[in-house]
Amino acid sequence: MKLMELKYVLAVYKAKHYARAAEAMNVSQPTLSVAIKKLENELNVVIFERGSGEITTTPIGQRIVDQAQRVIEACDDIYDTATRGQDPLVGPLRLGIIYTVAPYILPKLISRLREVAPQIPLVLYEEFTTQLFDRLKTNEIDCAIMAITQKIDEPQLEYIPLYKEDFVLALNNNHPWSNKKLISIKEVQRETMLLLGAGHCLRDQIIKSLPEVYLNNPKERALRSFEGSSLHTILHMVSAGLGITLVPKSVVHEGKDLNNIKFVDIEETSACREVGVVYRKTFPRTKAIEALVKAIKTSFIGGVEFLSKSKYS
């Protein structure tokens, strides 16, 4: 059994397709197929069911995939320890970050990190929360900055809270509420609400902040909701008078660059989100994580309250 054979198995498991897996591993499909077949013969098992459609894993194959993942992670940790362990503050840090946080903290974070730990360049992965969790568990990234809505039920992962930020209402300057300083969420029930598309955790957090609106009247609410692909798109729609939306307070400074938008505070204190850093407990460069956290907490990020303890601890 060879380590590369296990990597080929994981590649097929992720891609669900031999050709795509071979492309991802930068080898020919016959090379990959022969290696996996050799491993199956050696173990006297069938790992993948081969059909005309998508590749599926047999029950014993799934157990082998899970064990292979742990072996690869352990090997990666050995390399990390050998190449970076002597000085954890030297070497790239693979950082994942969600779409609705990245534009508003990365410029300040990168600048501050160069001062705090100049020998830690960031390799960035901007993705959805679920994708970042997957990348963490498969050792494709070292840590991730994401919004947390509940205690992380993953024994191999560690969480450090960074900050809490309230949601504010964004509306057109000509909206009847534009002169208000404070508004209740209950007042927005009859308004056209602009939301991010499915997959964005901010969308789910906003819906959770509007239980009277979305949970009690989902069909009626859907008729008055429109979706956008990014917060920038949503804010341009608000600027054009197409509806209103809730945004995190860190977005307000960015949103002020857009014309015709007014931000109004929300009366309910529950309309907020918590943002933190998630990493694997086995990650050997904890000093690098500490440097990242320090860089964030000593950066000026408008509209946030830095945390020493999480509400989800």
- How far apart CA 204 and CA 217 sit, in angstroms, is 16
pLDDT tens-digit profile of 31-40?
999 999 999 9
- How far apart CA 55 and CA 206 sit, in angstroms, is 37
Mean pLDDT of 43-64: 88
Mean pLDDT of 284-313: 89
In this prediction, residue 309 has a pLDDT band, given cuts at 50, 70 and 90, of confident
Choice between 90 and 289, residue whose per-residue pLDDT is larger: 289
Question: With pLDDT > 70 as the criterion, what percentage of the chain qualifies?
Answer: 90
pLDDT tens-digit profile of 82-114?
765 567 888 899 999 999 999 989 999 999 999
Tokens at 282, concatenated: 């086995």
Average pLDDT taken over every residue of the chain? 86
Q: Which residues pair with 279 in a beta bridge?
A: 143, 158
Contacts (Cβ under 8 Å, ≥6 apart) of 289? 142, 143, 160, 277, 279, 283
CA-CA-CA-CA dihedral for 69, 70, 72, 77, to nearest 10:
140
So where are the chain's domains?
Answer: 3-84, 93-159+282-301, 164-266
The domain covering 93-159+282-301 belongs, at the CATH homologous superfamily level, to Periplasmic binding protein-like II (3.40.190.10)
Contacts (Cβ under 8 Å, ≥6 apart) of 46? 40, 58, 60, 61
pLDDT tens-digit profile of 130-180?
999 999 998 899 999 999 888 888 899 999 999 999 989 999 999 999 899
Q: Given 1.10.3720.10, 3.30.450.40, 1.10.340.30, 3.40.190.10, which CATH number is that of 164-266?
A: 3.40.190.10
Identity at 89, one-letter amino acid code: L
Fold of 3-84: Arc Repressor Mutant, subunit A (1.10.10)
Please give the pLDDT value at position 257. Answer: 63
Q: Do domains 3-84 and 93-159+282-301 have the same CATH topology?
A: no
Q: What is the pTM of this model?
A: 0.71
Please give the pLDDT value at position 165. Answer: 92
Tokens at 9, concatenated: 């198995």
